[in-house]
Amino acid sequence: MKNLVKVKYGNSKVAFSLIELLLVVTILGALSGGIYGLYNSSTMEARRKTSQAQQKSLKTAIDYYFAKNNTYPPSLEALTRSYVSKIPDDPLTNFIGNDWMVRGPSKDIWLSSRSSISSSAPAEGIYDVQSASGM
């Protein structure tokens, strides 16, 4: 009886062996690890869907800008004047600030919008937006 942990319960004494306690702790650890895995995957799925919705919103704002001005916006910030309240952060990249990839109408090259607007925006304006994460 060296490996027993004694717990007093009412008038009787209940004892658990060390192996029983380790088994319970191991089972609880495995259950919590599985729950964390489910939580992490659902969080990533929510971020991906939020990013897709924000991309769609930005693309719609670009289309409205083009319909009104007959030219593409020179930067994402040009959309904040009348088309969106602010440029949303991409939840997939977790950067602070503007972290979308932009493309002009005649280029197949995606440019980061995190660098200065004058050097990263295509000369013809912004035609398309996607997440900088590549998802």
The series of mean pLDDT values per 10 residues for the chain, 135 residues long, is: 63 75 90 84 88 90 90 87 85 70 72 51 75 74
Residue 29's alpha-carbon distances to 32, 33, 34, 57, 67, in angstroms, are 5, 6, 9, 42, 57
Distance CA 126, CA 124 (A): 7
By DSSP bridging, strand 100-103 and strand 128-131 are antiparallel
**pLDDT on residue 27:** 92
By residue range, what is the domain housing residue 110?
4-131
Mean pLDDT in the chain?
78
**pLDDT on residue 105:** 74
* Torsion angles phi and psi, residue 38, rounded to 5: -65, -40
DSSP conformation class of 124: T
**pLDDT on residue 98:** 55
**pLDDT on residue 116:** 42
**pLDDT on residue 17:** 84
**pLDDT on residue 12:** 61
Give the pair of three-digit tokens for residue 83. Answer: 């088309």
**pLDDT on residue 104:** 77
How many structural domains is the chain composed of? Answer: 1
Give the pair of three-digit tokens for residue 67. Answer: 């319909």
**pLDDT on residue 97:** 55
